[in-house]
Structure 1
Amino acid sequence: MANIIAFLVRLIALVLAIVGFIPLLGWLNWLIIVIAGVGAAFGFISEKNSGRNFCFVVMAICAFRLWIGGGII
């Protein structure tokens, strides 16, 4: 059950991450990192690693986008 929740949270985070790549919407990546962190927490509870690992990938992509944009843009 926790893996299904992690799967749903990562899909939401991934869709928002795509929107966060639009210029001047980089602030959205801060929210996505938190959402993906919640998904990773549910992934830790589940028996499978796929939900947790994908949430970490989404968090890394958003962190890289924030690093490129200086944290805001």
Structure 2
Amino acid sequence: MLNILSALIGLVTLILMIPAVLPLLGALNWILVPIALVGAFIGMLSSKNGGRNFCLIVAAFGALRLFMGGGLL
């Protein structure tokens, strides 16, 4: 159950990250990366690790976008 919840959090976060790829909306990742990390923590409490891994990939994508934009863009 926690694995499914973690995967859903990751999916919603990934969908919300789509506009954050556009220029001048990259600061949205400051909100979305911690949400993905909360999803990874919830997935860590599960016996399976698919949802956790998905959330970590989503968080890494958001962090990479922040790094490429200099933290603001």
TM-score under structure 2 length normalisation? 0.95
Q: Which runs of 5+ in 1 are unaligned?
A: none
Counterpart for residue 15 of structure 2: 15
Q: Which runs of 5+ in 2 are unaligned?
A: none
Counterpart for residue 33 of structure 1: 33
Quick one: percent identity of the two aligned structures?
51
Tell me how far 1:4 sits from its aligned partner.
1.3
Aligned length: 73
**TM-align CA RMSD:** 0.7
TM-score under structure 1 length normalisation? 0.95
1:9 is paired with a residue of what secondary structure? helix
Between the aligned partners of 2:9 and 2:60, the Cα distance in structure 1 is: 16
Deviations 1:24-63 (CA, angstroms, capped at 9, x unpaired): 1011111111110110011001111110011111111111
Off by >6 Å, runs of 4+ in structure 1: none
